[in-house]
Amino acid sequence: MSAPGLTVSGGGSAAVDTPAMQIAAVRLDDLAQQLGTLAAGLEACLADAAWRDAAQHRASEALQRAADVVRILRPEADDAAHGLRTAAERYGSAEQTIAGAQQAAWAQGAAAVGAVTRLGVTLAGPGFLVLTASATGALLGAAAAGTVARELLTTGRIDPQVDPAVLADLRLALSSSDDLIRGFELTERPADLVDDDPGSPHGTAATADALAGVLPAPRTPIAVSPSVLPGAVQGPGSLAGLGSRTPEVDPGGTQLRLEQYPMPGGGSRWIVYVCGTITFSPESGPEPFDLRSDVTGVAGQRSDSELALASAMRAAGVRPDDPVLLVGHSQGALDAVRLAQRGEFDVQGVVTLGGPTGQLELRGDVPELSVEHEEDPVPSLAGLPAAGAGGLHRLVVRRSLYGGGAPPGPPILPFGAGAQPHALTAYRETLALADESPDPRLVAFVDGIRPFLAARDGRIVLVRADRRVSPRRRR
């Protein structure tokens, strides 16, 4: 079975533990195989001359009966496995339908608010906007009070930033923002209610683009400083190995780690690890892994941190036809997916840890594993995950750190859990649990990236990237 709290799914949601059903089906397959072995053993016994002895008649008859039952049981095990798989698939479809209805309801509500606001502004003038804003504020206030009361009653804590129910609403709200604007413009069509294209004129990418316009643009080149570590490195061997080599956030330190493994036929295989956001300062200083890169990355522009990643790869010697596995945490996850989308390198796998990447689709031939904690707010910032074929091929490992209960820590301190569910250390633990999962999709993913995990005798290149900011702009 999967580790407690760990679920594996396609890009959609998974309220019913369908992965556990799939795993049980695999166990039933195993049971059917064992029954086959048992049947063969019984047949061998019955063929033994000693069992045909008249004195053993009763025993022989009983053995024959056992063999007959085993023969019947084998298809029963197959039927049970088939039933379980079909039920899991149908539950998955039902969940998708429910999620679609929920999305449509939110979108409809947002579009209606937008349309009513437009009507009010037309009839009563711009002052109606104040009325709408006040009403929205009152509703949000009531919802926040309800959330606080619910959290206090159920967990004794106030930690909305790690409350899965709050984060689920955040996903829906973000995904409905384009409907609100279209409602105001009176351009919302029925298809828009379920169509959540981040690249549409009012999608999350456009919103992030507008936000990026507010932040100061650095317009400075990125300088990368690679340094090769002495000695050889062996492949990470496992998902946990990938997590342990992903750089921690270290202001002024290394943001990228590249591992180069020579291939027998020439060329090299590369594993590239990317760290998360280092500074949330709105100033665009020398650090490219900053807030501006977060926003521009969501907007779909080439962020400075993505530029740093691509520059570091070129500086280290990655050639366009070298196989590459990208591993990123948080902003690094966003950069990894964006770079893989651009197709400049031969990316043969992407592993993301707590990234806002749910809406980004990769080509079907690039396997993607996304690890998300239910209490981590960052993946929710992507809104609802893409539900098309491109989104569903994304393999998602979800884990609840607190199992619906209270986070550890002082019981009365509001926001006491901080952003712990987003921490790289927590994701490393989850990767170790994922290594233990027998889920066939996860096993297949790991098998697919095995040439990277099992690579031998490589070298490590650590890279520090900086914006070349003029001293005048430095603080």
Partner 1 sequence: MLEPQAVARAVLIDAVDRLRTAGRGLPAPPLVLDGWASAAALEYEVAAGRLAAGLLQVRAALDEAWAGLAAP
Nearer to partner 1, 44 or 153 (CB): 44
Shortest Cβ 408–partner 1 spacing (Å): 30
Q: Which is nearer to partner 1, 60 or 260 (CB)?
A: 60
CB 350 within 8 A of CB 366: yes
Nearer to partner 1, 60 or 430 (CB): 60
- Told to check if 31 binds partner 1 by CB under 8 A, we report yes
Least Å distance between CB 187 and partner 1?
Answer: 35
Distance CA 430, CA 108 (A): 37
CB of 2 to partner 1, least distance (A): 12
Q: What angle do CA 301, 339, 334 make, to 5 degrees?
A: 70
Query: How far apart are the C-alpha atoms of 202 and 180, rounded to whole Å?
Result: 9
Instruction: Specify the residue, 100 or 418, whose C-beta has the smaller distance to partner 1.
Output: 100
Instruction: Kindly tell me which of 38 and 432 has the beta carbon lying closer to partner 1.
Output: 38
Alpha helix (H) residue ranges in 185-253:
190-194, 204-214, 239-245
Q: Which of 80, 99, 104, 112 binds partner 1 (CB under 8 A)?
A: 80
Q: With respect to partner 1, which residue has the nearer C-beta, 29 or 209?
A: 29
3-state helix, strand, coil in the chain (%, to 5): 55, 15, 35
Minimum CB separation from partner 1 for residue 267, in Å?
47
Rounded distance, CA 360 to CA 384, Å? 11
Which of residues 90 and 342 has its CB atom nearest to partner 1 in the complex?
A: 90
30 binds partner 1 (CB under 8 A): yes
How far, in Å, CA of 8 to CA of 395, rounded? Answer: 7
Nearest residue (CB) to partner 1, 19 versus 407: 19
Residue 87 as a binder of partner 1 (CB under 8 A): the answer is yes
Return the number of other C-beta atoms located less than 10 Å from residue 370's C-beta. Answer: 23
Distance linking the first and last C-alpha atoms of the chain: 53
Burial class (CB in 10 A: 0-12, 13-18, 19+), 112: middle
What is the nearest approach in angstroms of partner 1 to the Cβ of residue 95? 8
Of the pair 85, 422, the CB lying nearest partner 1 is at: 85
Closest CB to partner 1 among residues 55, 214 = 55
| Cβ neighbours around 67 below 10 Å, total | 17
Of the ranges 76-84, 224-232, 306-314, 316-324, which one interacts with partner 1 (CB under 8 A)?
A: 76-84
Question: Does 20 sit near partner 1 (CB under 8 A)?
Answer: yes
Least gap, CB of 154 to partner 1 (angstroms) = 21
Residue type, 213: G
Residue from the set 24, 112, 115, 116 that interacts with partner 1 by CB under 8 A: 24
Window 33-72: contact mask with partner 1 (x via CB under 8 A): -xx-xx--xx-xx--x-xx---xxxxxxxxx-xx--xx-x
Burial class (CB in 10 A: 0-12, 13-18, 19+), 65: exposed
**Contact pick of 3, 14, 26, 73 for partner 1 (by CB under 8 A):** 73
Q: Is 325 helix (H, G, I), strand (E, B) or coil?
A: strand
On whether the CB atoms of residues 294 and 451 are closer than 8 A, the answer is: no
| Near partner 1 by CB under 8 A: residue from 8, 21, 240, 431 | 21
CA distance 24 to 19: 9
Question: Where would I find the H helices in 156-203?
Answer: 164-184, 190-194
Cα atoms found within 13 Å of the Cα of residue 442, Cβ hemisphere only: 27
Binding test (CB under 8 A) with partner 1, winner from 3, 5, 27, 118: 27
Binding residues for partner 1, per CB under 8 A?
Answer: 16-17, 20-21, 24, 27-28, 30-31, 34-35, 37-38, 41-42, 44-45, 48, 50-51, 55-63, 65-66, 69-70, 72-73, 76-77, 79-80, 82-84, 86-87, 90-91, 93-95
